[in-house]
């Protein structure tokens, strides 16, 4: 039985959200126009228009709550909406509307296509059914989206907004969109990773360097935040793995270009000093991350202690000690940083060589490198001829197959060894000619280090000291408050050369530079470091 609409006071309710559920729904302005046209045409009494941009799945809709309150108070007893799915997509809000109809406080719900009366049980049933159908459609869409995202993840396609250093592909067809390296930031982030991998800088120091020296900026043009640098170093997506959904434990291997390797990622986590999410460091200690306990093998960490005297003076001390993560009962005691630095300075002192020997040695190596360059050029010519001959054979083989002079099986059998030979020559080309460049660079680094290490350690910043300390050895052990330095081969000869120089003491004898270099050349220490084979004449220390 129809009701007298002249006694019904309507509220027009318009709703639209930005979610996929509403992509095909009229805008709020269009809904308002459609509904006001109906009200004017049918001479309905509209006392208010309420509009809301919010998902109907949510139970937290402030305008909808206001609508319910006004109907409960008797302010209005009619509801004019574009469709039942504008009212609700969840059973709680649907129940509120049906309950108000049962209480006779809501006389009528009118849409553009039909009317639901509170006097007709079938109308209330159908209204609830339409709202629940909207919920079912929404849930099905959600499941479809989840299945689609799972399929996308299984293909190795990253299913979210691209992390810093990457961009989302806007032009690939839907379902196959992938992330790709950001040409403006990818290489700079890789540089941050390389800097962090040296172990000489803290994460904040890398951020400062990237921001102030390299000019790195986020896509919004702002400087990188402190949290972002830790995000870059601890997000597995950068080594090609991602978890989706977050916290689900479901991991996928991405088919995009990874920024680092898993091994590099693990090393950075160790440098940060944690297995999980990093915490910002409040102190940058000079020698952490380089030493292990000589008793249990655990890493050596550091902490500062503040001592306040009765007279008001405050003293800060830095102590290094075993983390005891390997053996909780480790008996090793801590060592104060000043004592540790004294021992390191003593080790560095044995590596110092005079400037005249440094210059002479580099001239010696450059001469040897120049002599070797001529031999290298001849070798390259010979290799190039062999490479061209290999290409010629491959080309001829292809022509024979094209002319059907040989079968496919014969072609494949004869092609494989030629292809392998071609690849071998290409690898040789990549190596030949670069070995001595690397040799000269290493020689320069070693002598510069030995010459400048002491001054750099004494006057440098904490990261300078760390750089020097890290060059002293790969197996740095701290036991009984003594640092044991197992010098690498790159540094052992420098101790010998330094001792040889002190034995000769040429400057005190008034020897000129030519005579000095002749003495160095005849020194058994210098000569004993060279190979007899001219093609292998690398200084063994390098």
Which CATH number fits the domain that encloses residue 207?
Answer: 3.90.1750.20
Worst-scoring range by mean pLDDT, 152-156, 327-331, 339-343, 437-441?
437-441
Of the two residues 9 and 315, the one the predictor is more confident about is 9
Burial of residue 14 (CB within 10 Å: 0-12, 13-18, 19+) is buried
Whole-number percent of the chain with pLDDT over 70: 71
Give CA–CA dist 32/82, Å, rounded: 9
Total residue length of the chain: 542
Give the phi and the psi of residue 462 in degrees, each rounded to 5: -55, -40
Residue 6 has pLDDT above 60, yes or no: yes
Residue 42 has pLDDT above 70, yes or no: yes
Q: In this structure, is residue 156 part of a structural domain? A: no
Using alpha carbons only, give the angle 68, 72, 73 rounded to the nearest 5 degrees: 120
User: What predicted TM-score, i.e. pTM, was given to this entire model?
Assistant: 0.36
Q: In this structure, is residue 455 part of a structural domain? A: yes
- Stretch 86-110: mean pLDDT: 88
Whether residues 452 and 324 share a domain: the answer is: yes
Q: In this structure, is residue 381 part of a structural domain? A: no
Burial 275-302 (b: 16+ CB within 10 A, else e): eeebeeeeebbbbbbbbbbbbbebbbbb
Q: In this structure, is residue 159 part of a structural domain? A: no
pLDDT tens digit string along 403-433? 788 888 888 888 888 888 877 777 776 655 5
Of the two residues 49 and 372, the one the predictor is more confident about is 49
Whether residues 351 and 223 share a domain: the answer is: no
pLDDT value at residue 56 = 65
End-of-domain residue from the set 145, 174, 190: 145
Whether residues 227 and 139 share a domain: the answer is: no
Whether residues 256 and 305 share a domain: the answer is: no
Record the tokens describing residue 390, joined without a space: 């290999």
Whether residues 247 and 119 share a domain: the answer is: no
- Stretch 503-525: mean pLDDT: 45
DSSP codes joined into one string, 357-423: HHHHHHHHHHHHHHHHHHHHHHHHHHHHHHHHHHHHHHHHHHHHHHTTSS-HHHHHHHHHHHHHHHH
End-of-domain residue from the set 112, 145, 178: 145
Whether residues 484 and 529 share a domain: the answer is: yes
Structural domain boundaries enclosing 197: 166-272
Burial 433-471 (b: 16+ CB within 10 A, else e): eeebeebbebbbebbebbbebeebbeebebbbbbbbbbb
Tally the domains of the chain: 3
Compute, in degrees rounded to 10, the torsion defined by CA atoms 399, 401, 402, 407: 160
Q: In this structure, is residue 176 part of a structural domain? A: yes
What's 124's domain CATH number?
3.40.50.1390
Whether residues 74 and 23 share a domain: the answer is: yes
Q: In this structure, is residue 161 part of a structural domain? A: no
pLDDT value at residue 135 = 72
Whether residues 134 and 198 share a domain: the answer is: no
Give CA–CA dist 232/165, Å, rounded: 9
Give CA–CA dist 158/357, Å, rounded: 57
Give CA–CA dist 108/334, Å, rounded: 81
Residue 478 in 3-state DSSP? strand
Q: In this structure, is residue 405 part of a structural domain? A: no
Most confident of 7-21, 206-220, 501-515: 206-220
The span from the first CA to the last CA of the chain, in angstroms, equals 101
- Stretch 443-468: mean pLDDT: 71
Average pLDDT in the chain:
76
Whether residues 29 and 134 share a domain: the answer is: yes
Worst-scoring range by mean pLDDT, 177-181, 231-235, 356-360, 379-383?
356-360
Of the two residues 139 and 98, the one the predictor is more confident about is 98
H-run or E-run covering 303: strand 300-308
Q: How confident is the model at residue 500 (pLDDT cuts 50, 70, 90)?
A: very low
Burial 136-145 (b: 16+ CB within 10 A, else e): eebeeeeeee
End-of-domain residue from the set 83, 116, 145: 145
- Stretch 87-116: mean pLDDT: 88
Residue 189 has pLDDT above 90, yes or no: yes
Residue 167 has pLDDT above 50, yes or no: yes
Whether residues 300 and 197 share a domain: the answer is: no
Most confident of 157-171, 204-218, 355-369, 413-427: 204-218
H-run or E-run covering 454: helix 435-459
pLDDT value at residue 284 = 61
> Which residues contact residue 465 at a Cβ distance below 8 angstroms, ignoring those fewer than 6 apart?
286, 287, 341, 456, 457
- Stretch 314-342: mean pLDDT: 89
Look up residue 201 and give its DSSP letter: S
Worst-scoring range by mean pLDDT, 97-106, 145-154, 194-203, 259-268?
145-154
Whole-number percent of the chain with pLDDT over 90: 18
Record the tokens describing residue 378, joined without a space: 């001849």
Whether residues 99 and 173 share a domain: the answer is: no
Give CA–CA dist 309/342, Å, rounded: 26
Q: Taking the CB of residue 380, how many other CB atoms lie within 10 A of it? A: 15
pLDDT value at residue 495 = 44
Listed residue (487, 497, 503, 501) closest to 529, CA to CA: 497
H-run or E-run covering 510: none
H-run or E-run covering 334: none
Q: In this structure, is residue 406 part of a structural domain? A: no
pLDDT tens digit string along 240-257? 888 887 777 778 888 889
Whether residues 180 and 251 share a domain: the answer is: yes
């Amino acid at each position: 039985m129809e009701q007298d609409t002249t006694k019904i006071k309507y509220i027009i309710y318009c709703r639209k959200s930005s979610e996929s559920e509403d992509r095909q729904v009229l805008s709020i302005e269009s809904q308002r126009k459609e509904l006001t046209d109906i009200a004017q045409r049918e001479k309905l009494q509209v006392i208010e228009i309420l509009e809301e941009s919010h998902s109907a799945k949510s139970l937290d809709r402030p305008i909808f709550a206001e609508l319910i309150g006004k109907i409960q108070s008797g302010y209005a007893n009619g509801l004019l909406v574009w469709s039942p799915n504008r009212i609700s997509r969840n059973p709680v809000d649907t129940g509120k509307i049906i309950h108000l109809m049962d209480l006779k406080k809501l006389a009528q719900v009118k849409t553009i296509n039909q009317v639901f009366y509170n006097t007709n049980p079938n109308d209330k049933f159908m209204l609830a059914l339409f709202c629940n159908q909207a919920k079912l459609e929404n849930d099905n869409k959600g499941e479809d989206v989840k299945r689609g995202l799972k399929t996308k993840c299984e293909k190795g396609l990253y299913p979210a907004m691209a992390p810093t250093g990457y961009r989302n592909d806007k032009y690939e067809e839907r379902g196959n969109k992938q992330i790709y390296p950001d040409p403006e930031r990818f290489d700079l982030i890789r540089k941050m990773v390389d800097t962090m991998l040296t172990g000489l800088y803290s994460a904040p120091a890398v951020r400062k360097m990237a921001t102030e020296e390299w000019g790195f900026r986020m896509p919004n043009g702002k400087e990188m935040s402190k949290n972002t640098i830790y995000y870059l170093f601890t997000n597995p997506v950068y080594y090609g793995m991602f978890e989706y959904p977050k916290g689900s434990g479901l991991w996928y291997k991405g088919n995009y270009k990874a920024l680092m390797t898993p091994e590099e990622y693990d090393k950075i986590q160790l440098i940060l000093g944690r297995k999980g999410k990093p915490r910002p460091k409040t102190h940058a200690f000079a020698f952490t991350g380089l030493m292990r306990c000589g008793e249990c093998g655990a890493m050596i960490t550091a902490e500062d202690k503040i001592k306040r005297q009765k007279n008001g003076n405050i003293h800060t001390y830095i102590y290094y000690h075993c983390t005891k993560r390997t053996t909780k009962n480790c008996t090793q005691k801590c060592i104060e940083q000043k004592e540790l630095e004294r021992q390191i300075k003593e080790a560095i002192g044995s590596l110092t060589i005079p400037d005249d020997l440094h210059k002479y040695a580099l001239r010696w190596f450059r001469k040897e490198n120049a002599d070797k360059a001529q031999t290298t050029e001849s070798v390259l010519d010979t290799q190039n001829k062999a490479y061209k001959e290999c290409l010629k054979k491959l080309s001829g083989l292809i022509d024979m197959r094209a002319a059907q002079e040989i079968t496919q099986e014969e072609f494949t059998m004869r092609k494989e060894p030629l292809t392998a030979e071609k690849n071998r020559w290409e690898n040789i080309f990549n190596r030949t000619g670069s070995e001595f460049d690397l040799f000269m660079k290493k020689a320069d680094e070693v002598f510069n280090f030995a010459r400048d290490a002491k001054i750099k350690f004494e006057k440098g910043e904490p990261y300078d000291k760390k750089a020097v300390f890290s060059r002293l050895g790969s197996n740095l052990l701290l036991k009984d408050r003594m640092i044991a330095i197992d010098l690498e081969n790159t540094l052992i000869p420098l101790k010998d050369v330094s001792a040889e120089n002190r034995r000769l003491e040429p400057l005190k004898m008034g020897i000129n530079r030519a005579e000095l270099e002749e003495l160095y050349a005849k020194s058994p220490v210098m000569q004993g470091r060279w190979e007899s084979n001219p093609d292998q004449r690398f200084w063994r220390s390098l």
